Amino acid sequence: MPNFESGKPLHCLELVTGKNLTGTVLLAEERIRTEIYSFQDHFHIQGEKPVFVQTETNDIVSLHSNITTIPGTRSRFGEPQRTTYRQEIASNIAIVGHDAWEAKDCVKRVSFRVRHTRDLMHHRAKVDALGRSKYPKEENFNLFGDTVEGMTLRARYAATYGMDFDAPTDFWPSFEIEFDEPQGIEEYIRHVLTYVQFLSFCFGIKLKPSEISIDRLSSADMMAALEKQAYPGHHAVHYVWPEAEFDKEDLWVGGSPVRAWDDGELTSLRACLAGWTKRVSLWKKAYTLMVMSFGLRRSFSSERLISACRWLEEIPIAKAQPALSDDAIAALSAIAGAKAVELGLGQSLRDRIAGSIRRLKAETSEQHFSRLLAMVEDKFGPGILPGDAVGHLKRAISLRGKSAHGHFNPDSDSEFRAFVKATRAVEALCYLLTALGLPINEAGIKRLRDHPLIRDYRMSYD
């Protein structure tokens, strides 16, 4: 397995120039940085292609998506004269393993952890069985494995055991995707993000994957290699990807629409994850903007309101609908135009009247929000949002216009409270619309009233 400590520079040997130059490589959440030195000759490493280095721990680090600096020098001009040549490589992706991960290599299987999901994925019967035996059955480790859209989505438990204990000293959920068709290094992560976005949706916080490992082999091929003692190991993937801050109380799963606590709840979670994945081609932008909104929940700003409104605009089922049909618009335009001619108002005014009537085709804000609220109440029950939600949503659109043209600075505490209420109204509506098409069970629907996004809106002062 890769032997690499995050945040600790390691001595390394580059493998791309043929000169066996040395340096250091650092993998951390906030940066991936490699420094290469030569004490003899000028050199230049191109960043367009992957760069490979061997570390002091005998791992191979494959650096992808690189930005290289112009090679620099450091000289001593007194006798004896000396010159050191140096180049820095900043990377977005580092893959650590037993061999180089080439640009053409593809991912057959990826596994990862998502911090803070232990309570969400706590299946009581399985966890109890794990805790009673040093050698639990495989079925107690496995939560599910479902085939969706050319992938197998899995969740299971991983555990650590001590020599002196007959039960795990620790356990945690682990997630995995196995692809029917192997994915390139730029493509596989999109599917990981879709999985993680679903877990973020459960809490209403911005989560990220960690301890990502990729493999060229399927799970069946890996097991066959293990039996032959010929499995070389997986590759660990590091990204420049700091974890977002959030309020700890939002980790409470009492408001999540799904959770894995028993077989019935796990069935709902699996069905919702499958539904979430199947619609990603239409919902990709909405999912991304949802997570962006979650990441802004620790403060109130124009950016947060604009992000929430953009989330609403990208939800496929939230698009405005015509209030009048094309036939009705044509009939009204014809009548108004004829009247304009009768009054001798001229062709230009007749055209302006027709244009004004065409603008009546779109829903008003009140009609639009009333229709959307009726949709969520039909699924989640009357009163899921406050009765004056339409007013708060209309205010949000007005405030969004002010925010888009400069920094919005409330003049009073009451104006700030109105801003907060309006922002939370949009977020709550977006959340419910995002949940609307998922097969959430009755217990999950009841819990939604306590979800942080719904709770925060209901409890905000107006």
Per-residue pLDDT of the chain (462 residues; tens, 9 = 90+): 566 777 889 999 999 999 999 999 999 989 999 999 999 889 999 888 999 999 999 999 999 999 998 888 887 777 788 889 999 999 999 999 999 999 999 999 999 999 999 999 999 999 888 877 767 788 889 999 999 999 999 999 988 776 666 667 778 999 999 999 999 999 999 999 999 999 999 999 999 999 999 999 999 999 999 999 999 999 999 999 888 888 888 888 999 999 999 999 999 999 999 999 999 999 999 999 999 999 999 888 899 999 999 999 999 999 887 655 666 667 766 676 666 666 666 666 666 666 665 665 567 889 999 999 999 999 999 999 999 999 999 999 988 887 766 666 777 889 899 999 999 999 999 999 999 999 999 999 999 999 999 999 999 887
Phi and psi at 276, nearest 5°, equal -60, -45
Q: Which two tokens stand for residue 202?
A: 């459960």
Q: Which two tokens stand for residue 434?
A: 């995002």
Is residue 255 within 8 A of residue 447, CB to CB? The reply is yes
- Report the C-alpha gap between 267 and 143 in whole angstroms: 10
The answer to whether the peptide bond before residue 2 is cis (omega within 30 degrees of 0) is: no
Evaluate the CA torsion angle 122, 128, 129, 135 in order and state its sign. Answer: positive
* H or E element in which residue 427 lies: helix 413-436
HSE, side-chain direction, 13 A CA sphere, residue 459: 8
- Report the C-alpha gap between 143 and 133 in whole angstroms: 18
- Own/partner long-range contacts of 360-363 (Cβ < 8 Å, ≥24 apart): 360/323, 360/324, 360/329, 360/332, 361/322, 361/323, 361/324, 361/326, 361/329, 362/320, 362/322, 362/323, 363/320, 363/321, 363/322, 363/323
Helix/strand/coil for 407:
coil
- Report the C-alpha gap between 110 and 187 in whole angstroms: 12
pTM above 0.75, yes or no: yes
CA 93 to chain centre: 17
